[in-house]
Amino acid sequence: MTNNENQTTYVLTEEQALDMLAFLASAAEISLHEPTYYGTFRLIDAASRLMGYLLESNPELAESFMPGWKQDIDTRKVWMMWDRPAYQQFLKEAPAVIAAEIKQRQEAAE
Amino acid sequence: MSEFSPEADAFFQTLKTRRVCRSYTDQPVADAQLRRITEAGRWASSGGNRHIHKFLIVRDAETIRRVRSVAPGMLVEPPAMIVILTDKEAAERECIQLDVDQINQGDVGTAAMNMQNMAHALGLGSCPVTSFSHSGVGVMLGLPDHLEAEWIIMIGHPKPTQRGLGTGAPKPLTARDLTWWDRVGHHDPV
Ligand SMILES: Cc1cc2nc3c(=O)[nH]c(=O)nc-3n(C[C@H](O)[C@H](O)[C@H](O)COP(=O)(O)O)c2cc1C
């Protein structure tokens, strides 16, 4: 993590960035033929994977909201396979976690 | 007391208690176990007894990691995996037109199911994966043009996890829900 003026920069290794790109491109391809709700699964899984890489490469994030949110996503994303209503509820709630985080940072910076 | 033989009951229990496993320990899978699992795949029924498939066992962690990058359906990196491949040269020898053939996917499924049940009987966990980029996996595994990856079976020693069932989970599906007797819509009276 480096500080550039007021911005914090998180780092991915080349391997992690390429893996993430490969995942996104492959998810786009298979979304052509998978059931539409799988698209939601790939996106929330992408969020989890990105956090996984960020946590690997930026140890200071261990104290942030990310380990907890990643754990929560990994537990609840698989509900898609056996409990659709609970899965949909989880998706509706998920953005609030990151929204609260962004808002809190903005307020702290003001 | 069951009306069936102990062997039949034990076999049914194996089938019934297998659940997909998406969490594995680091412990490697023994070669003898992988061999036995592929033997179970070999003894699956095969439409027309054609056997146009190959099983590619992959144990190398780096290769598994690379395959996972183009396989969104691989939610974890297992210690081993078996890739079921269609051999297009064998298909051609058997005069099979893969673009219209419907038996091929059935054959992949029967082999995969035998392998998953065998893995479970050996105390291992497994999970089939079909959500992957075929072109991407072909590159990562260095497959020649005549071999097409169909399914990936992840295999490893299961790590216990919380399934975290949500509230309002649907009631378990029973065989009765899926089965009619003699007439459409006529459920088992028992
Ligand atoms: C044809 C087929 C494709 C599947 N593809 C995937 C996959 O890409 N990734 C995955 O994690 N599970 C996959 N599964 C596993 C199913 O999600 C799983 O079998 C289902 O949720 C029922 O769980 P059970 O096998 O434990 O009863 C697949 C299963 C089948 C039969």
Domain limits, chain A = 10-109
| Closest to B128 in 3D by CA, of B188, B81, B62 | B81
Residue of B131, B165, B170 with shortest CB distance to A30: B131
| pLDDT tens-place string over residues B163-189 | 655 544 556 888 999 999 999 999 888
User: Looking at the predicted complex, does its ipTM rise above 0.85?
Assistant: no
Q: How many Å lie between the alpha carbon of A100 and the closest alpha carbon of chain B?
A: 23
Interface A–B counts its CB contacts (< 8 A) at 61
Q: Is residue B41's pLDDT more than 50?
A: yes
Q: Does A28 contact B at CB distance below 8 Å?
A: no
- DSSP for B48-67 reads GG---EEEEEE--HHHHHHH
Q: How many Å lie between the alpha carbon of A2 and the closest alpha carbon of chain B?
A: 27
- Contact: B166, A86; criterion CB under 8 Å: yes
Question: Amino acid identity, residue B16?
Answer: K
| pLDDT tens-place string over residues A37-68 | 999 999 999 999 999 999 999 999 999 999 99
Q: Which of residues 70-99 of A touch B (CB under 8 A)?
A: 75-76, 78-79, 82-83, 85-87, 89-90
Q: Does B131 contact A at CB distance below 8 Å?
A: yes
Burial class (CB in 10 A: 0-12, 13-18, 19+), A82: middle
Give pTM, 2 decimals: 0.90
| pLDDT tens-place string over residues A80-103 | 988 899 999 999 999 999 999 999
Confidence of residue A4 (pLDDT cuts 50, 70, 90): low
For chain B, the average pLDDT equals: 93
Report how far ligand 1's centroid is from the alpha carbon of A82 (Å): 11
Pairwise CA distance, residues A109 & B12, whole Å = 62
- Contact A35 CB / ligand 1 (< 6 Å): no
Q: B151 pairs with which residues across the strands?
A: B84
Angle, helices B103-121 vs B6-17, to 10°: value is 110
Q: Which domains does chain B have, with CATH numbers?
A: 6-161 (3.40.109.10)
